[in-house]
Amino acid sequence: MQLFHTLRELRAFLDSQTGKSVGFVPTMGNLHAGHCELVSQAKSRAGIVVVSIFVNPLQFGANEDFGSYPRTLQADCEQLRAVGADVVFAPAVEEMYPDFNGQDLRQQIIVQPPPMADVLCGASRPGHFAGVATVVTKLFHMVKPDFAVFGKKDYQQLMVIRTLVRQLNFGIEIVGVDTRREVSGLAMSSRNGYLTAEQKTQAAQLYAQLQQVRVALENGRRDYEALCKQAVLALQQEGWQVDYVEIRAQQDLSTPSASQTELVVLAAAKLGNTRLIDNCEVNL
């Protein structure tokens, strides 16, 4: 497995691998089994698998955890080697953002996503998805993959990236992979490491509430607002600070009509100081 920190090294290697298809898995590191599943999926269909590890400052808000986000490159590389990754690209901030002066990223060109980025997580994290769209655009230009693999846990992110690729004519296939979960149902996440043992047990309540909404929908309920309010109240009674529980259309995250059959239930909530997100697709 090759480890590169500069675009020049990365491109020199990839240019030498003529005729091989390239699969790409972008990450922020601090990897877990869910990330490894994405790499395994890419490995099953590509000649070369590139994994990026970059904690992107553009997608963190002023009071978020950019400074404390775990940087675990050596441990990440060991996991990636075990699942067959061919290349790890771990650039510095200055490599990703050439005009960065060490303090200020405001002079960067920003890729502005469509209004679907302004709802759900985008409503409480202004600028987050612009940061995601910008770094993913740059990484796609750097790696030039045939396809890229993303987890469905970050469902809104996946939809934003699908739209980005379609509207900017990248010609890259975007592969969405089902969320890897703990035995309890808790979605695997790098931020789970912030939870205490007690909180980690309690955190399974988030997915359990989404499952209750799914069952209600499958049983014919279409009072979307009431269903979401019930889930919010149930979580609040268990001590959660709920950002949202919403039922949306899968394809564009719009508010669905009662006749739509492809839905997704999405939630974001804080347990203690840790913000968790999850979702559940519903196909009626």
Catalytic residues, which ones? 35
CB 70 within 8 A of CB 28: no
Residue 231 structure tokens: 């889930």
Q: Which phi and psi angles does 42 have, rounded to 5°?
A: -65, -40
Residue 257 structure tokens: 């009509």
Show the 3-state SS of the chain.
CEEECCHHHHHHHHHHCCCCCEEEEEECCCCCHHHHHHHHHHHCCCCEEEEEECCCHHHCCCCCCCCCCCCCHHHHHHHHHHCCCCEEECCCHHHHCCCCCCCCCCCCCCCCCCHHHHCCHHHHCCCHHHHHHHHHHHHHHHHCCCEEEEECCCHHHHHHHHHHHHHCCCCCEEEEECCCECCCCCECCHHHHHCCHHHHHHCHHHHHHHHHHHHHHHCCCCCHHHHHHHHHHHHHHCCCEEEEEEEEECCCCCCCCCCCCEEEEEEEEEECCEEEEEEEEEEC
How many angstroms separate the CA atoms of 223 and 134, rounded? 37
Residue 148 structure tokens: 């890229």
Q: 279: closest CA among 267, 263, 261, 262?
A: 267
